[in-house]
Structure formats: C-alpha cells, structure tokens
Amino acid sequence: MQETEPASKTDHSSKNLALTLGRKFFANRLLFGLIIAFLAAFFIRIHRPWSDWPMWRVLSAVLVLLGLGIRALADGFAGRHTRTEEIEAPRLSTGGPYSFVRNPIYVGSMVLGLGMVGLLASWIALIPYLAVFAVFYFAVIPAEEQFLRKTFGRQYEEYCQNVPRMRPRLTPWSGAEKTAFDWKPALGEWRVALAIMAILVFFTLTSLVWH
C-alpha cells in the first residue's frame, strides 16, 4: 500500500498539470499557434516555388480547405461560444457533425494542419504538427471534457458512450439534438483562413531570405 500511494499521487498531479495546461492553451490557442509557426519558420525551408503545383500539393490544399469546412460546420452547430477565451458551453452540442464525433473542430484542425504540412513539403513540419496534436489530445480535450462532465453530468456521459472522441462514427447518433445552423460563427473561420495565408507567406519569405 505504501508503495502505490506515491504513484497514485504522482498520477493525480500529472493529470491536474495536464488539465491546467489545457485550460491555458485553450485561452491562448491562436497566440500559441502563431508562436509555433514563427519558431518553425527558422527550421523549415520551402525548396519548390509556389508556381510548381504537383498533385500532392493540390491534395494538400484540398485538405486545408476540407479542414476549414469541417471547422466552419462545427462552429455553426456549436454556437458562438467556440471563440471565447474560457471553456464554456451554454448547451451540450450533439447535432450536425457532433453526432458523428465529439470534437469536430479539432478533427478539422488536424486535417487542416496535415494539409499545411503537405504544402510546406517538409518532414520537419511534422514535429510541430504532432506536438500540437499531443497538446490537444492530452491536455485541451480532457480539460473541456472535465468541464462538460461537471456541467451536464449524465447527459454528457450518455453522449460519450455513443459518440467517439476523435474517430467519427459512420452514421449519426440517433440521440443527437435537432438544432439550426448558425452562419455567423461559421463565417468567423475567415480569421483562420487569413492566419493560414499569413503563415504561408511568412514561410515563403523566410525561405527566400535563407536560401
């Protein structure tokens, strides 16, 4: 018993640290992403000119657009609280893409990020991509789940039992809510699109300077 208690306390402390990190990252997610992109630009070089568009680069651009589309769709069904600095939810969103997967915004972000890796054409870009995915999966999502479990209790537990965290179902959950699509939060994805364009321009300029 004496040997297991320290390990249990360590696990509890690690979990609390991850949850705290998740809440901090959530509040500053845009700034955090821009900092990672800025630092990565010093190590990633775009060797091909942007006028050269082989098929893999076209497919990468499609992934970026698909990721933006998934995010916009999820925003429209979730409501306008998705861009707040604090984790909050006036209601539990289970309709639309949320009837297939519990975190469609993050799924869209990962698809978008994979497309960005392809556009940059550098295996080094996989490092920050996987690092951000790890922070999402092991810190941000658990912090959100903790909030939702406390706020919605049994309703959220039932939702978790029927809808996967990140791997979409093949069919929508029959118990999902019927909600209307809100275009205003969906159109807010223009900020993400603008940030993507700025990142690509920044990477291109730094590559030219260092070439």
**Mean pLDDT of the 98-127 span:** 91
Q: Does the structure show a pLDDT above 90 at 207?
A: no
Task: Say what the pLDDT of residue 1 is.
Answer: 42
Q: Is the Cβ–Cβ distance between 144 and 92 less than 8 Å?
A: no
Q: Is the Cβ–Cβ distance between 33 and 82 less than 8 Å?
A: no
Closest CA to 67 of 118, 24, 138: 118
3-state secondary structure (DSSP) of residue 8:
helix
pTM of the predicted protein model:
0.81
Enumerate domains of the chain plus CATH numbers: 15-210 (1.20.120.1630)
What is the phi/psi pair of residue 28, to 5°?
-125, 35
In the numeric block, the tokens 């900020």 are attached to 191
